[in-house]
Chain A
Amino acid sequence: MPSPSFERIDYSVRTNKNIERKMVFERLASLSSVFKFGDYRYVGLGSMWFVDFVMAHRLLGIEDLWSIEEANPERADFNRPFKCISVRPGSSNKVIREMADADWAKSLVVWLDYDSAFDDDAKDDCRRLLERITPGSVLIVTVNGTKGGYKPKGDPAAAKSINRLRELFGDAVPPTALSEGAADITADSFPEVLSSTILNFMTQAVRTSGRSTEGYPDRFVPLFRLRHLDGAHMVTVGGAVVSWRQLQPLEQLTNLNVDALLAGGWLLQDILDIVPITLKEKFALDRLLPSAEADFAAAFAASGIKLDQEQAVKYRRLYNRFPVFSEMAT
């Protein structure tokens, strides 16, 4: 039986995850003129490390944070970095199901960072949240997007990942999920199909709940579609449930019309799969940056850094978010 993920992984030092987290909170912070995060509650799965909680508190100014912890709530409580974080014992299913009316009245940023594949429990969590969170609330989900984790309920011998997606999501699976004549989704394209499918499912969950503000249906605006690779392919998708009143300021802020916003025009999309690089390589690369893409290629070739060009180009794009970890003597 595998141990809980916090016993295997120190989440604060996973490079790609670390970059992704920064990108997510930066994007949320950019929406501060529309969403007054200071009055929000952050709900996450803080584990023992609370890395996202620190960012929610510092970057968004959120002062009311809930960490859902099933495996070891006492240890989590000991480790919480701020007084304003409260550990809610139980599964996300249980904690969300038991939320009181007063909890639902508060605007939320929820990041359900599961370390497993998307399943019926995750679907329940998302649906319940999307049906009730106040307009302006944000839901983000991180799940394992590796094809092998998606097998239909019956006999795995004939298992096709497309059938598992159909079983879980029905019409949310895009008609283009399978390339022509293919029997199943390829392992390479699976994370992208899964991302589209979950975002479609979220849009559907908001629409079919019939929720509305002053007679106008609330909408789901997709905001995140990220992938990071730290061992497994993890996908992070999510967006905001907004009322018609919030659509207009979003249009102004993003310079996009409603159609484009709802179709994912404001999606933060990226694939974060930088390999670990040494401190020496990092400093050498940093000395070349910032630099335009065309200039960088030449400068890199002349630098003598023995990294793949492809990795260097990726680094160039993300260098100012790239973390440095060091040992600390206490």
Chain B
Amino acid sequence: MANGNGVKRAHAEPTKDFFIRMITRDISLRDCIVDLLDNSVDGARRTAKIATPGVAKPSLAGFDATIRMSNDEFSIKDNCGGISLGDAVDYAFHFGRRKDAPKDVEGTIGLYGIGMKRAIFKIGRKARIESRHKDDRFVVVVDVDTWETQTDKEGRQDWDFNIDALEDAQPIGTSIVLSALYPTVAASFTDPTFSNELIRTIARDYAFVIQQGFKVNVGEVAVPDYGYRIKQSADLAPGVIEYEDNGVKVRIVAGLIEELDVEVPDELKPEKTERFGWYVICNDRVILAADTSEHTVWGNAGFQVWHSQYNGFAGFLFLSADEPDKLPWTTTKREVDVGNPIYLRAVVKMKELTKLFIAYTNERKVDPDAARLVEASAPSVGLETVKTAAPIRFPTISAPSTGVEYTTIQYRRPKAEIKKVAKALGNASMAAREVGRRTFEYFKKMELGE
């Protein structure tokens, strides 16, 4: 189209297809569900804040969200205050957060105005959103196929959703029910391992929210408190750095971790290797967990890459801000915006702590057994109790005076034979290295009497 001066203008209007089929590819099904949970947590914070004015971090006890999944339907229902009709009309269904959106709660998680819509489009073709707020109640029914083709009187794309009044006596809260599920989504929802993985993810990523009293259920399972812990004793203590950077509170805690809280059922604990590395937590929501990549420090701008000998180390970067858009998260809340200057400055500090840890891993090589003993004897404390800034501290390890020299034996045998020997040793799944060690000890005992 040309304007009066003969200059042509390029069309830049968005298409609905872009929202339905394209942006849904950038996020996993699991993270979409977690996005919906973010809305519940924000609702709980909003409601708690109004109920207890002046309290910086009010308890979230009494607030909960329940997720249910089946071959035909997905639902998330909470008791977190609902959406006010005014917010629904002007903001909640808007694609992208409007500049004039009210900043009614500080320290929220939701900030892009995309999570709920994207989750709907990712999961199914039909949605029913019911909100019961203290002031008003409404329902929005979305048929994605109809919405995709609907136009206004002038024949232009109509982006709006109809809001109908809801008159019932059900308790306050929000309910989102999605149906006409995509076949691959339905297959995931009927796979118990998907649900177990979701429980594990929520336990890990919402640990700091669950600690504030918030409850999440997936089907009949209550997501446990993950209970992050770190080792602390006279010889061994985490480093803690705290500062404020342009309205963002930064707190970095790094050191050695041992076991997770004994109260957490074992089967919800990630495997050992999934626990170590750096964590990034924005407004109490874990964004990166156990990262061993250049997204944090490892291999970042010439820094040392992660090595399995570091298993045992964990660092936590907590960033909190009243205005969530200051934090370095992406729309999926599963990655950090690595170019964010506040984040870049934090990574510099994280590298300082990590360097001290790496230096220790080299120092302890003179007597790893002694080092291990000291490390193992240090008790673990809850991360939330490590509050004041302190330098990182490691045990001093000196070379043993006994002068015992060691060498390594290595040999190959057929896998089936090793398995048979392992079975005879009482554990068919015993590691080959252990089979070698035990057969050597057996020989010593039988032939040398030692």
* Chain A residues in the interface with B (C-beta under 8 A): 1, 116-117, 119-120, 149-156, 159-160, 162-167, 170-178, 200-201, 203-204, 207, 215-217, 219, 244, 257-259, 262-263
Contact = CB atoms under 8 A, between A and B. Distances in A.
Contacts of B430: 151, 153, 156
Nearest to A204: B193
B54 interface: no
Contacts of A244: 183
Which 4 pairs between the two chains have the least Cβ-Cβ distance?
A: A204-B193, A171-B196, A151-B427, A217-B187
A171 B424 contact: no
Contacts of A176: 221
Contacts of B211: none
Given A154-B434, A166-B271, A263 B190 contact: yes
B285 to A, nearest CB: 22
Nearest to A156: B427
Interface residue SS majority, chain B: helix
Interface residues of B, number: 31
Contact of B71 (A153, A160, A262): A262
24 contacts: A116-B428, A117-B429, A149-B428, A150-B429, A152-B429, A154-B431, A166-B267, A166-B271, A167-B271, A170-B271, A171-B193, A171-B196, A171-B197, A171-B200, A172-B196, A173-B267, A174-B192, A177-B267, A203-B193, A204-B194, A216-B183, A219-B187, A259-B190, A263-B190
A175 B267 contact: yes
Contacts of B191: 200, 203-204, 207
Nearest to B223: A175
A262 B190 contact: yes
Interface of B: 70-72, 183-184, 187-188, 190-194, 196-197, 199-200, 221, 265-268, 271, 420, 424, 426-431, 434
B193 A201 contact: yes
Contacts, number: 99
A274 to B, nearest CB: 29
Given A172-B196, A200-B192, A207-B191, A119 B268 contact: no
A93 B196 CA distance: 29
A166 B266 contact: yes
Nearest to A148: B426
Given A159-B427, A172-B192, A173-B196, 9 more contacts: A117-B429, A120-B429, A155-B434, A156-B430, A174-B196, A177-B267, A200-B192, A204-B193, A258-B71
B193 A200 contact: yes
